[in-house]
Amino acid sequence: MNEKIQQLRDALSRSDAVVIGAGAGLSTAAGFIYTGKRFQQYFGDFARKYRFSDMYSGGFYPYPTQQEFWAYWSRYIYVNRYMDPPKPVYQNLLKLVQAKDYFVLTTNVDHCFQKAGFDQQRLFYTQGDFGLFQCAKPCRQETFDNADAVRRMVLAQGFSIAKDGALTWPQDAQPAMAIPDDLLPRCPRCGRPQTLNLRSDDQFAEDQGWHAAAERYARFLEDHKNAKTLFLEAGVGWNTPGIIKLPFWQMTNDWPDAFYVCLNFGEAEAPEDIRERSLCINGDISDVLEQVLEA
């Protein structure tokens, strides 16, 4: 591992540009865990009532009413978008690349890159953002900030919000598991119900910001295809390999001075065609980044 840590430092040092590809494993390494203590802390009442054991499953549960659906989802959005992760993984990653010409492509929707201080003009979050609503139809390709709406929903359930942004349960009581009718989100353009701006079907709204980010990413790749470019993949699995993993492999193979790094816990791999220009580190990304900074 020590040798691989040094190889990663060397790869960063000799690169002119860094393209970061980030998946769910990066946020997991930062402490955004969807099971166990964290799940019970905020969703224990839903877990007891509906017998699911993780946040992800709860997000797909067919709740009997929209009031209950949004009670669950407002908590989900708040703790995974508006609260900070426990570990400084994103901040450490920024320390490693902030002096470089970098760009971030991510399938994550939790806003962690922005909260850690990454330049928003160097980010393309392809699959949406927990912090945005859209018309459920949608009536147009437009999104809406949901910070105030989500905050009102969680407060209406009896939660309190501490000065540091943490969500705390009501004292000596159970939180409500439904929100009032007047807090149900509706599209300000057509009046239909709103939904989350998450890519799950062909109803995903690609607004002006999404297209502008896509253009910046394409332009960054075009400008650096002949440079010493490091493709740094972190926490990317096989759910949507066509967005990050496979294109990174292809560009590493095609670009003359490209190098590929895969950081993953259990799934660090590279194809044979680019093996000599790759570095795969199988381990906890949080630990790896800390070791690189300390080396």
What CATH number does residue 267 fall under? Answer: 3.40.50.1220
Q: Tell me the residue range of the domain where 56 lies.
A: 33-84+147-184
pLDDT score, position 88: 97
- The answer, yes or no, to whether residue 146 has pLDDT greater than 90, is yes
- The answer, yes or no, to whether residue 145 has pLDDT greater than 90, is yes
Local confidence band at 255 (pLDDT 50, 70, 90 cut-offs):
very high
Local confidence band at 139 (pLDDT 50, 70, 90 cut-offs):
very high
> Three-state SS for 64?
coil
Closest CA to 258 of 220, 224, 228: 228
- The answer, yes or no, to whether residue 172 has pLDDT greater than 90, is no
Residue 257 in any domain: the answer is yes
Query: Percent of the chain, pLDDT > 90?
Result: 95
Q: Strands 278-282 and 194-198: what pairing?
A: unpaired
Asked whether residue 108 falls in the same domain as residue 217, the answer is yes
Structure-model confidence comparison of residues 170 and 37, the more confident one: 37
Asked whether residue 172 falls in the same domain as residue 259, the answer is no
Query: Tokens for 230?
Result: 């490091």
Measuring CA to CA, how many Å separate 265 from each of 90, 106, 269, 286, 294? Answer: 16, 18, 11, 10, 20
Measuring CA to CA, how many Å separate 286 from each of 18, 26, 87, 153, 265? Answer: 19, 8, 8, 33, 10
**Cα(283)–Cα(287) distance, integer angstroms:** 8
Query: Percent of the chain, pLDDT > 70?
Result: 100
Q: Provide the number of structural domains found in the chain.
A: 2
Local confidence band at 170 (pLDDT 50, 70, 90 cut-offs):
confident
263-274: pLDDT as tens digits: 999 889 999 999
Asked whether residue 80 falls in the same domain as residue 92, the answer is no
| pTM attached to this predicted model | 0.95
Residue 286 in any domain: the answer is yes
Query: Tokens for 150?
Result: 């989500």
Local confidence band at 169 (pLDDT 50, 70, 90 cut-offs):
confident
Asked whether residue 173 falls in the same domain as residue 39, the answer is yes
Asked whether residue 154 falls in the same domain as residue 279, the answer is no
Residue 133 in any domain: the answer is no
Asked whether residue 176 falls in the same domain as residue 57, the answer is yes
Q: At 164, give phi and psi (nearest 5°).
A: -85, 5
Under DSSP, the state recorded for 276 is: G
Asked whether residue 210 falls in the same domain as residue 272, the answer is yes
Local confidence band at 246 (pLDDT 50, 70, 90 cut-offs):
very high
